[in-house]
């Protein structure tokens, strides 16, 4: 069995943690000086473990194994959310280094901007050929609106070619990541073998009523867009539970009311509503149910309701063979202390799954906290995850 150096793995994680350190976490937003320093740090570590590193025009870092034969691709991202945790992303990249150091035939990748400072999974989509040139050219910072091209130029990346992965080179992609939830911790488990990444559907639901005076307009006359919007949400909460899977989640995170004044009956209400599940059949069922609810409310509240699917990301099931290798390895290294579970969060692995077999492994997140500087995982659980990952990788490479 491949001998992984867990002490060196933890030391590397702590070294990366010092770049952009913020309290016990890190602040390395994409293309910041700290982010670029971490990418150069990574390339130096890749060379040390015998990989040939390259950084492309988006800051993607790929370390290629020089040997013959099919490889596993192992990785994640190394930029962070603002003032965020030390493990989100970094864990999967540094685990790849440890596997290469142990002599396994792996390439290691750090995909740029998974955290979405400038777009939606720009790095992994670019490397898998799923990023249209127009989208790349138009990309801007999500908050400041600064053009991506400007940030790339300042980071010294302008004019560099973009790397493209060759799926035929790989047996598949493995990503080790923190759970960013409480499922493992509350079940008393030390490791989670991911069954797949949930699909998400996002809808814009608009109710158009009649803007009017709150005193002068009788109840019988009203076409109140807020009432219609609230009724849609109430019916969703009443009826969805009969049609969902065990881990379906649904959220209305934004309601915009016009004119949003205390003494005016609203003429317009717009909601952004989303649901997620691992099973596309469940997502289809909920899409149909949502359409029925919207239609019913339109009739009942005399408002014009419009339902528009704003975006969707398909569910990405784990590759059965890679998943089985992780399960077997988890049972060898942590008998009875691991469980299978879906990933409710989006990861680079979801993008990679469109071009090659994919599997993921989770470590517990203490208190479920992530996207915050206090994010943490017990070091013995980090070391355990590395041993499971290495064991599964070795098995997958033998097949």
Binding stretches for Zn ion (CB under 5 A): 88-89
Tally: H helices and E strands in the chain: 12, 17
β-bridge partners, 138: none
Write down the least CB distance from residue 113 to Zn ion, Å: 11
Neighbours of 310 (CB within 10 A): 12
User: Closest CB to Zn ion among 89 and 196?
Assistant: 89
Please, which residue, 32 or 206, has the CB nearer to Zn ion? 32
Beta 61-64 vs 71-76: how paired, if at all?
A: unpaired
SS3 state at 149: helix
SS3 content of the chain, % helix, strand, coil (to 5): 40, 25, 35
Q: Smallest Cα–Cα separation from 59: which of 97, 120, 114, 130?
A: 114
Give the SS3 label for residue 315. coil
CB-CB contact of 162 with 137 (8 Å): no
- Beta partners for 311? 202
- Least distance (Å) between residue 30 CB and Zn ion: 12
Nearer to Zn ion, 116 or 167 (CB): 116
Q: How far is the CB of 314 from Zn ion (least distance, A)?
A: 19
Shortest reach from residue 299's CB to Zn ion, in Å: 44
The smaller minimum CB distance to Zn ion, of residues 113 and 224, is found at 113
Give the tokens for residue 325.
């290798």
In the complex, the smallest distance separating the C-beta of residue 180 from Zn ion, rounded to whole angstroms, is 8
Sign of the dihedral through C-alpha 79, 82, 88, 94: positive
Distance CA 91, CA 86 (A): 8
Nearer to Zn ion, 89 or 342 (CB): 89
| Minimal distance, residue 89 CB to Zn ion, in Å | 4
Q: Among residues 89 and 119, whose Cβ is nearest to Zn ion?
A: 89
């Amino acid at each position: 069995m491949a001998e992984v150096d867990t002490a060196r793995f933890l030391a590397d994680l702590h070294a990366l943690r010092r770049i952009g350190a913020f309290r016990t976490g890190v602040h390395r937003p994409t293309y910041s000086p700290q982010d670029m320093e971490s990418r150069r740090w990574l390339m130096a570590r890749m060379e040390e473990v015998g990989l040939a590193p390259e950084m492309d025009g988006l800051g993607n870092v790929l370390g290629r194994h020089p040997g013959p034969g099919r490889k596993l691709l192992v990785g994640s991202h190394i930029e962070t959310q603002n003032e965020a945790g030390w493990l989100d992303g970094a864990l999967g990249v540094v685990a790849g280094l440890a596997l290469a150091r142990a002599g396994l035939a792996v390439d290691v990748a750090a995909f740029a901007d998974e955290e979405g400072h400038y777009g939606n999974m720009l790095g992994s989509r670019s490397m898998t050929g799923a990023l249209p040139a127009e989208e790349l050219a138009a990309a801007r910072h999500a908050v400041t609106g600064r053009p991506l091209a400007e940030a790339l130029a300042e980071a010294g990346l302008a004019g560099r070619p973009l790397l493209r992965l060759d799926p035929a080179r790989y047996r598949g992609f493995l990503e080790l990541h923190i759970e960013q939830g409480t499922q493992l911790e509350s079940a008393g488990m030390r490791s989670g073998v991911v069954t797949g990444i949930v699909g998400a559907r996002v809808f814009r639901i608009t109710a158009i009523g009649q803007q009017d005076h709150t005193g002068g307009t009788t109840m019988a006359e009203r076409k109140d867009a807020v009432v219609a919007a609230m009724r849609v949400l109430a019916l969703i909460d009443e009826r969805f539970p009969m049609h969902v899977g065990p881990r379906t989640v649904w959220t209305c995170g934004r309601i915009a009311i016009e004119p949003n004044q205390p003494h005016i009956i609203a003429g317009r209400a717009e909601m952004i509503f989303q649901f997620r599940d691992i099973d596309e059949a469940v997502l289809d069922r909920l899409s149909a149910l949502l359409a029925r609810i919207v239609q019913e409310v339109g009739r009942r509240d005399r408002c014009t309701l419009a339902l528009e699917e704003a975006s969707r990301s398909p569910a990405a099931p784990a590759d059965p063979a890679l998943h089985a290798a992780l399960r077997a390895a988890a049972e060898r290294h942590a008998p009875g202390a691991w469980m299978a579970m879906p990933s409710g969060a989006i990861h680079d692995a979801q993008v990679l799954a469109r071009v090659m077999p994919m599997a993921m492994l989770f470590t517990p997140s203490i208190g479920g906290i992530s996207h915050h500087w206090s994010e943490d995982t017990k070091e013995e659980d980090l070391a355990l995850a590395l041993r499971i990952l290495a064991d599964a990788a070795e098995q997958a490479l033998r097949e």
